[in-house]
Amino acid sequence: MANFDPSKLTSTSQIFSTNHTLPQIRAIHKNLHVAIEEKSTRLRTQVGSSYRDLLGTADTIVHMRDDNDVVQELLGKMGGRCGRGIIGAKATGLSKFVAKENNSEASIAARLRLLDACVLVVGRILKGGGGFGDNVKKGDRLVLSTKVLVLSRLFDQEPFRRCDRPEQSSCY
């Protein structure tokens, strides 16, 4: 009777029936306690692991809440920058900037003045002036004046690159 399966018993009347002797009932009692202890241990382990999973989930929720707060703050700032008035002001500023950019006559005049200034600077550098003093060698002056001339050539070519369209009347 030591190998008796307690799961087959469905009621107390089956245990205490006249078919079982007192030592058999004690063995059934012992088997029931062993089965209860095994199930209790298994359930305790399962509850413990579920509790640890629950704690991990709670920790994840706390981190997600913090991340959500950061994202909401960022979106709030971005939304504040996207108001109707602000977007209108940015569009107006952009149109003014583009209008100034398209003002090619003023741009060409400024570049031509810059070319004149480059010619003056090259002349002063080659004559020994230009604020460098007497300690600068002629070779260094020549190199520096060459650099200024190269830059002036870049300024010289820029206005004419924009004039390849026939609708611009202010090109040379």
The predicted-structure confidence for 92-103, as pLDDT tens digits, reads as follows 988 888 777 666
Q: What is the pTM of this model?
A: 0.35
> Would you say residue 161 has pLDDT above 60?
no
Q: How far apart are CA 53 and CA 55, in angstroms?
A: 5
Among residues 147, 146, 155, the alpha carbon closest in space to that of 112 is found at: 155
86 pLDDT higher than 60: yes
Q: What mean pLDDT value characterizes the chain?
A: 80
Signed CA dihedral, 55, 56, 62, 68: sign only: negative
User: What CA–CA distances, in Å, run from 5 to 34, 98, 110?
Assistant: 11, 92, 104
More confident residue, 170 or 25: 25
